[in-house]
C-alpha cells in the first residue's frame, strides 16, 4: 500500500522525513516529492505550498503520478470554535470552502453545480486516529474545517463562517485536498493543530509553535502508519 502524507509548509513535513528509510527525491510539476519506505509501507511525502490551488495540484500529483492509495494531511489551523485552544489537535469530520460563492445564481455558499458543500473524511481513518489518540492519551477533537484562500483576521467574518458552515476551525488547504481525494475515491484524513484562538496572548511565537506542533503532528501521523502496518 502507498500512503501520501502532505503538509502546506516545509516545517510540517521535515519531522516526518526523519522516520523514513530509502528516501528518494523527485521534482514533478514544479514541486519536490519524497518517496520512502516505512516498515514495509511505501510513502510519498510533500509540502504543497499555501493555498487551495497548490494543495489541489500536490494531492493530484500524489494520486495520479505516485499512485497513492490513501492520503494524510498534517498542518495548523485557526480556531473559530471557542472551545478550541492553542495546541489542541482537531481531526476534520468534513470540510467545506468558505470562500466559494455563486449565491447570485441561487446556490448556497460553498456549492457549485455537480459539487458538494461538505466532503466527509474517511470513517476508517478517523477511527484509526481516535485509537492512536486513546493510546497516546491525547485529546483529539473532531469538527468541521472550513478552507479558503484567505487568512481570516476579521472577527465578523469568522463568526459568519462559523454560523454559515457550522465550522470549528479555519485553514487554507484541507477542503481542496478533500475535493481531489473524493473525485479519485481515495480515503483521506486531515489533522490540524490549533495555532491561533480566542485565548492567545500577545507574546505568542508562531514560528516556535509551528516547530513544536509539527513534531507532535508527525509523531501522531507515524503512529497511524504503525497501525496500517
Which ranges in the chain belong to alpha helices (H)?
10-17, 52-64, 123-136, 155-165, 174-184, 206-228
As a whole number of angstroms, the distance between CA 142 and CA 217 comes to 15
Please identify which of the residues 88, 168, 173, 196 carries the catalytic annotation: 196
Q: Is-contact 33 44, C-beta < 8 A?
A: yes
Task: Please say whether the dihedral angle defined by the alpha carbons of residues 157, 159, 216 and 20, taken in this order, is positive or negative.
Answer: negative
> Any bridge partners for residue 190, and if so which?
73
As a whole number of angstroms, the distance between CA 199 and CA 148 comes to 23
Please identify which of the residues 11, 12, 149, 219 carries the catalytic annotation: 12
As a whole number of angstroms, the distance between CA 183 and CA 77 comes to 24
Name the residue among 165, 153, 147 with its Cα closest to residue 8: 147
12 given a catalytic annotation: yes
Name the residue among 200, 175, 55, 76 with its Cα closest to residue 118: 175
Q: How many CA atoms lie within 13 A of 140 on its CB side?
A: 23
Q: Can you tell me whether residue 208 is helix, strand or coil?
A: helix
As a whole number of angstroms, the distance between CA 193 and CA 59 comes to 20
207 given a catalytic annotation: no
Q: Which residues are catalytic?
A: 12, 196
Amino acid at each position: 500500500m502507498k500512503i501520501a502524507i502532505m503538509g502546506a509548509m516545509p516545517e510540517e513535513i521535515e519531522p516526518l522525513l526523519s522516520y523514513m528509510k530509502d528516501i528518494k527525491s523527485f521534482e514533478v510539476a514544479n514541486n519536490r516529492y519524497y518517496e520512502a519506505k516505512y516498515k514495509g509501507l511505501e510513502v510519498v511525502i510533500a509540502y504543497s505550498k499555501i493555498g487551495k490551488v497548490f494543495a489541489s495540484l500536490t494531492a493530484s500529483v500524489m494520486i495520479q503520478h505516485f499512485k497513492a492509495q490513501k492520503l494524510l494531511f498534517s498542518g495548523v489551523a485557526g480556531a473559530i470554535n471557542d472551545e478550541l485552544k492553542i495546541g489542541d489537535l482537531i481531526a476534520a469530520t468534513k470540510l467545506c470552502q468558505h470562500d466559494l460563492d455563486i449565491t447570485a445564481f441561487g446556490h448556497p455558499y460553498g456549492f457549485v453545480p455537480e459539487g458538494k458543500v461538505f466532503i466527509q473524511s474517511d470513517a476508517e481513518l478517523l477511527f484509526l486516529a481516535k485509537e492512536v489518540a486513546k493510546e497516546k492519551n491525547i485529546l483529539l477533537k473532531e469538527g468541521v474545517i472550513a478552507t479558503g484562500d484567505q487568512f481570516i483576521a476579521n472577527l465578523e467574518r469568522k463568526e459568519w463562517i462559523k454560523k454559515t458552515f457550522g465550522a470549528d476551525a479555519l485553514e487554507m488547504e484541507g477542503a481542496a485536498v478533500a475535493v481531489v481525494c473524493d473525485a479519485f475515491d481515495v480515503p483521506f484524513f486531515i489533522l490540524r493543530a490549533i495555532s491561533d484562538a480566542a485565548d492567545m496572548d500577545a507574546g505568542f511565537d508562531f514560528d516556535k509553535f509551528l516547530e513544536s506542533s509539527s513534531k507532535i503532528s508527525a509523531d501522531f501521523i507515524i503512529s497511524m502508519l504503525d497501525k496500517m502496518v
